C-alpha cells in the first residue's frame, strides 16, 4: 500500500497526516521545536509508525510523496531573522523600498513607524542603465558599476543579492547581464532577478518581492536542505514537495528560486482541505477556520475556487506573487487575556505558544489564555487534553484567570472566563466578516469547516453570531492544514505585463503571451511528471477601470482571445467590481494591466473520502464518558461529555454537549444538534425551531 504524508509545522505543534491510497488516515501531533527539526520529524513519524504497527524505516519506503507546509519564512520575517541582503537598482530608484508608494497602513496615525527596509540603504546600490516603457534601451548598462557593487557586497559580507531594474518586466536583458556578472564575482551568493521572481508592473511590489527573496533565500535554502537530509537519513527516497503561498506545491529547487513563495506556506493548504470536506455535503462555498495554539487562519472558497490575490502585504511587506487569501488573527488557544490601560479586557495577539504554554499546561505559564478559559468554563476536561495524552492542571487555569483578570476587574472568576471566551469569539467573527461580507459575499451562504485543535470549541458560537447554519468538523480537524498538504496539487504561476485598453488591445500580443506561458508551463509539468490528462491551465487578466489604482483578476476561458471573448471578459469584470466594491461603471473604459496563467498538475490518485480510525458502535447515550458543569451565556448546566470514538455514524445528539476526540474538543451550545457522518465528519446544525 502506498501513502502520502503531509507535514505542517506550526508555532505550537507540528502536525502529521498519513493518507493511504484507499483513504485511510492516521494523524500525529508533536510540539514544535525549530531548533531541533530532526527530532520533531522523527517523533511524528514514530507516532505514525506505531499507529500502523510498522517500523519507521519500513513505513517511509511506502510513502510516495511528502508535502511540507512550514512557518519558517513567515516567522523569520516577523522576527527579523533575515539574511544580510544587497540590492542593485537603476540610478534614481534606490529608495523605492522605503518610499513604499507613499502609503501607510494606518494613514492618519503618525505614530506608526514604517517597517524597517528589507535591504538597508547603504547596501542598495545604483547602476547606470535605463530601459524605457517600450522595452527600448535608453542607456546601456555600465558593467563597471555592477562590478563595483559586487566588490562592496563582498566587503560587507552580503549573503544574497536582489536585482530590480526599471522596466525589466518588458525587457530583462540588463537584469540578466547583471545576474551573470554577480554570479561571476560572488560565487555561492544567491542572486534573485525581479524579472524572474516577480515579472509584474509597478516598482514597489516588484522590488519588495525580490528583496523578500534575497532576505529569506539563505535561511530557506538551509531549511529545505535540513528537511530533505533528515528524510534521506531515515530511508525516504521519493519526492519532497513544499506548500507555496499560492496553495499549490512545488519542489525544493523551485522554492529556492523564489523563496517569497514560502510565506504563509502552512495556512495556504487550509482552503484545499476546507473545500474537500465541504464538497462531501454539497457545499462549494466554504469558510475554513483553523485555530491552533498561536493564531487563527480564516480562508474563503467560492464556487469551488480557492481565491488568490496579488500585491498584498504580508506582515507589512508587499508581495506581488499570487497568494491564497488567508486572513490571520492572533487568536489561538495560547492567546493571552490582558487588561489595557483603559481597564478593558483584551485577547491576544500575544501568545503563550507551546512553551511555557497556557497556565493549565503546568509548564511555568502564569498568564490566562483561551485554553485556560475553556477549562474554567467546563468545555475542556479538567484533567487532560489530546485524548488523555496530555495531563493538565485545571487549578492553575482558575488561578491565572482569577489573579490576572477577575481580581483587577472586580468580577467573579467565571464571569472573567466567559468574557475571555466571548471576546475571542467576536474577534473571530470580525475576521470572518472581513474575508466575506466586506468583500461582497453573504456569509449565510457558506458552511464553516472548523480546523485546528481549538477551533471546534469556538466555531459554533461564531456561526451563531453570523447566522451561519452549518459547521463541519472533520475528525482530523486538528491537522487540517497537514491534511490539505497531503491532497494539494502542484501549481506554477506565470505572468506577462501587458498594458492596453481592453477595447483597443492587440489580440495577437495577448494570444502570443498566453502561448509562451502555456509552453513554459507544459515544460515544467512535464519535468514534474504530469501528462496532458493531468494538467489544468487557468488563464486570467488583471483589469481596472480607467483611472483606478488597483485592478481585479478575472478568469478567462481557454481558446484564442477574440472580440467576443473580450465582451465576456468585460461583463465578468463589471460583475466582479460590483460584488466587491458595490458599484460598476459599464460606460467607463477598462485597462488591461497583465496576463496570468496558473498551471496545475493533478494527481492521479485522487481521494474523495477518508477512513479515520474505526467507527464506533454506540448511541450517544451509551457513549457518555462523564458529565460536567459548563457555562453558556450567564447560565451553567450539567452537560454530557461524549467519547467521539465510541459514537456510531448517523447518531444525532442535541446541545448543550461536549464531544471529545483524540486531538480536539467540540463544543455544542444549546439550540444546535451534532451528528456523526459515516465519512468520519461531525456536522453541527441549528436545531429545528
- Asked if the model's pLDDT at residue 528 lies above 90, the reply is no
**Least confident among 181-185, 262-266, 387-391, 617-621:** 387-391
C-alpha 440/C-alpha 288 separation (Å) is 17
Q: Report the pLDDT averaged over residues 601-610.
A: 71
C-alpha 529/C-alpha 249 separation (Å) is 14
Q: Which of 474, 682, 604, 457 is nearest to 17 (CA)?
A: 474
C-alpha 361/C-alpha 384 separation (Å) is 9
C-alpha 111/C-alpha 311 separation (Å) is 25
Q: Report the pLDDT averaged over residues 540-556.
A: 93
Q: What is residue 353's predicted lDDT score, i.e. its pLDDT? A: 78
For the 490-601 domain, the top CATH level (class) is alpha beta
Q: What is residue 315's predicted lDDT score, i.e. its pLDDT? A: 86
Q: pTM of the entire structure?
A: 0.87
Q: Report the pLDDT averaged over residues 104-115.
A: 83
Cα distances from 666 to residues 383, 657, 662, 669, in angstroms, run: 17, 8, 11, 10
Q: What is residue 294's predicted lDDT score, i.e. its pLDDT? A: 81
Q: What is residue 635's predicted lDDT score, i.e. its pLDDT? A: 84
Q: How confident is the model at residue 108 (pLDDT cuts 50, 70, 90)?
A: confident
Q: How confident is the model at residue 605 (pLDDT cuts 50, 70, 90)?
A: low
b/e 8-41 (16+ beta carbons within 10 angstroms → b): bbbbbbbbbbbbbeeebbbbbbbebeeeebeebb
C-alpha 347/C-alpha 343 separation (Å) is 13
Q: Report the pLDDT averaged over residues 421-427.
A: 97
Check residue 346 and give left, alpha or beta (phi > 0: left; psi -120 to 50: alpha).
beta
Q: Report the pLDDT averaged over residues 488-507.
A: 92
Tell me the residue length of the chain: 689
Q: What is residue 355's predicted lDDT score, i.e. its pLDDT? A: 78
Q: For the chain, count helices (H), then strands (E).
A: 18, 37
Q: What is residue 518's predicted lDDT score, i.e. its pLDDT? A: 95
- Asked if the model's pLDDT at residue 175 lies above 90, the reply is yes
- Asked if the model's pLDDT at residue 608 lies above 70, the reply is no
Question: Grid coordinates in use for 501?
Answer: 485598453
Q: Report the pLDDT averaged over residues 152-171.
A: 97
Question: Does 613 or 72 have the greater pLDDT score?
Answer: 72
CB 371 within 8 A of CB 336: no
Q: What is residue 36's predicted lDDT score, i.e. its pLDDT? A: 83
pLDDT (tens digit, 9 = 90+) per residue, 68-97? 998 889 888 888 889 999 999 999 999 999
Q: What is residue 611's predicted lDDT score, i.e. its pLDDT? A: 76
Q: What is residue 20's predicted lDDT score, i.e. its pLDDT? A: 87
Q: How confident is the model at residue 277 (pLDDT cuts 50, 70, 90)?
A: very high
pLDDT (tens digit, 9 = 90+) per residue, 337-369? 999 999 999 998 988 877 788 999 999 999 999
Q: What is residue 390's predicted lDDT score, i.e. its pLDDT? A: 79
Q: What is residue 512's predicted lDDT score, i.e. its pLDDT? A: 96
Average pLDDT over all residues of the chain: 92
Q: Please name the helix (run of DSSP H) or strand (run of DSSP E) that holds residue 526, with its range, or none.
A: helix 507-527
**Least confident among 255-264, 410-419, 523-532, 607-616:** 607-616
Identical fold, 82-216 and 490-601: no
Domains of the chain, residue spans: 82-216, 490-601
C-alpha 590/C-alpha 207 separation (Å) is 26
- Asked if the model's pLDDT at residue 603 lies above 90, the reply is no
What is the Cα gyration radius of the chain?
Answer: 26
% of the chain with per-residue pLDDT over 70: 98
Query: Which residues, at least 6 apart from 243, have a Cβ–Cβ distance to it below 8 Å?
Result: 67, 68, 69, 70, 249, 265, 266, 268, 269, 484, 485, 488
5: β partners: 18, 66
- Asked if the model's pLDDT at residue 476 lies above 90, the reply is no
- Asked if the model's pLDDT at residue 311 lies above 90, the reply is no
Is CATH 3.40.50 what the domain over 82-216 is classified as, yes or no?
Answer: yes
SS3 content of the chain, % helix, strand, coil (to 5): 35, 30, 35
Amino acid at each position: 500500500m502506498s501513502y502520502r504524508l503531509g507535514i505542517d509545522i506550526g508555532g505550537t505543534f507540528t502536525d502529521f497526516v498519513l493518507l493511504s491510497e484507499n483513504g485511510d488516515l492516521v494523524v500525529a501531533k508533536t510540539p514544535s521545536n525549530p531548533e531541533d527539526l530532526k527530532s520533531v520529524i522523527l517523533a511524528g513519524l514514530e507516532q505514525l509508525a506505531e499507529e500502523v504497527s510498522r517500523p519507521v524505516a519500513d513505513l517511509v519506503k511506502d510513502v510516495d510523496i511528502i508535502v511540507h507546509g512550514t512557518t519558517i519564512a513567515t516567522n523569520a520575517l516577523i522576527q527579523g531573522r533575515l539574511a544580510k541582503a544587497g540590492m542593485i537598482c537603476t540610478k534614481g530608484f534606490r529608495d523605492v523600498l522605503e518610499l513604499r508608494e507613499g502609503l501607510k497602513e494606518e494613514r492618519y496615525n503618525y505614530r506608526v513607524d514604517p517597517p524597517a527596509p528589507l535591504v538597508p540603504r547603504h547596501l542598495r546600490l545604483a547602476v547606470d542603465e535605463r530601459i524605457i516603457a517600450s522595452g527600448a534601451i535608453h542607456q546601456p548598462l555600465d558593467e563597471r558599476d555592477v562590478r563595483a557593487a559586487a566588490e562592496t557586497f563582498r566587503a560587507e559580507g552580503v549573503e544574497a543579492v536582489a536585482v530590480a531594474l526599471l522596466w525589466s518586466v518588458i525587457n530583462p536583458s540588463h537584469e540578466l547581464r547583471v545576474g551573470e556578472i554577480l554570479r561571476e564575482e560572488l560565487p555561492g551568493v544567491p542572486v534573485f532577478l525581479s524579472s524572474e521572481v516577480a515579472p509584474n508592473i509597478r516598482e514597489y511590489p516588484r522590488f519588495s518581492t525580490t528583496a523578500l527573496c534575497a532576505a529569506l533565500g539563505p535561511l530557506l535554502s538551509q531549511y529545505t536542505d535540513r528537511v530533505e537530509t533528515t528524510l534521506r537519513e531515515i530511508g525516504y527516497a521519493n519526492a519532497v514537495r513544499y506548500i507555496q503561498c499560492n496553495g499549490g506545491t512545488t519542489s525544493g529547487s523551485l522554492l529556492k528560486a523564489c523563496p517569497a513563495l514560502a510565506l504563509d506556506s502552512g495556512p495556504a493548504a487550509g482552503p484545499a482541505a476546507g473545500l474537500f470536506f465541504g464538497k462531501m455535503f454539497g457545499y462549494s462555498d466554504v469558510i475554513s477556520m483553523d485555530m491552533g495554539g498561536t493564531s487563527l487562519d480564516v480562508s474563503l472558497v467560492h464556487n469551488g475556487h480557492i481565491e488568490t490575490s496579488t500585491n498584498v502585504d504580508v506582515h507589512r511587506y508587499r508581495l506581488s506573487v499570487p497568494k491564497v487569501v488567508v486572513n490571520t488573527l492572533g487568536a489561538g488557544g495560547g492567546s493571552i487575556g490582558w487588561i489595557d490601560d483603559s481597564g478593558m479586557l483584551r485577547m491576544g495577539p500575544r501568545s503563550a505558544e507551546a512553551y511555557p504554554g497556557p497556565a493549565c499546561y503546568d509548564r511555568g505559564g502564569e498568564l490566562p489564555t483561551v485554553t485556560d478559559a475553556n477549562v474554567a468554563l467546563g468545555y475542556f476536561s479538567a484533567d487532560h487534553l489530546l485524548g488523555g495524552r496530555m495531563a493538565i492542571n485545571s487549578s492553575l487555569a482558575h488561578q491565572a484567570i482569577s489573579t490576572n483578570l477577575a481580581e483587577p476587574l472586580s468580577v467573579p472568576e467565571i464571569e472573567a472566563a466567559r468574557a475571555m471566551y466571548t471576546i475571542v469569539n467576536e474577534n473571530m467573527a470580525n475576521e470572518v466578516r472581513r474575508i466575506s461580507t466586506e468583500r461582497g459575499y453573504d456569509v449565510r451562504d457558506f458552511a464553516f469547516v472548523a480546523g485546528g485543535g481549538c477551533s471546534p470549541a469556538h466555531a459554533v458560537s461564531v456561526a451563531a453570531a453570523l447566522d451561519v447554519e452549518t459547521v463541519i468538523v472533520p475528525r482530523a480537524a486538528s491537522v487540517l492544514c497537514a491534511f490539505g498538504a497531503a491532497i494539494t496539487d502542484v501549481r506554477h504561476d506565470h505572468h506577462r505585463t501587458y498594458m492596453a485598453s481592453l477595447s483597443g488591445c492587440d489580440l495577437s500580443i495577448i494570444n502570443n503571451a498566453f502561448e509562451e506561458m502555456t509552453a513554459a508551463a507544459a515544460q515544467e509539468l512535464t519535468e514534474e511528471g504530469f501528462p496532458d490528462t493531468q494538467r489544468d491551465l487557468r488563464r486570467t487578466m488583471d483589469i481596472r477601470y480607467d483611472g483606478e489604482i488597483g485592478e481585479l483578476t478575472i478568469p478567462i476561458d481557454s481558446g484564442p482571445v477574440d472580440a467576443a471573448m473580450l465582451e465576456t471578459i468585460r461583463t465578468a469584470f463589471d460583475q466582479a467590481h460590483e460584488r466587491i466594491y458595490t458599484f460598476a461603471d459599464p460606460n467607463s473604459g477598462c485597462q488591461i494591466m497583465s496576463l496570468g496563467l496558473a498551471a496545475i498538475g493533478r494527481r492521479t490518485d485522487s481521494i474523495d473520502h477518508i477512513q479515520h480510525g474505526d467507527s464506533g458502535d454506540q448511541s450517544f447515550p451509551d457513549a457518555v464518558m462523564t458529565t460536567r458543569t459548563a457555562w453558556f451565556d450567564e447560565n451553567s448546566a450539567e452537560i454530557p461529555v461524549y467519547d467521539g470514538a465510541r459514537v456510531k455514524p448517523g447518531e444525532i445528539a442535541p446541545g448543550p454537549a461536549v464531544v471529545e476526540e483524540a486531538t480536539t474538543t467540540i463544543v455544542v451550545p444549546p439550540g444546535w444538534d451534532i451528528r456523526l457522518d459515516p465519512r468520519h465528519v461531525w456536522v453541527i446544525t441549528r436545531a429545528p425551531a
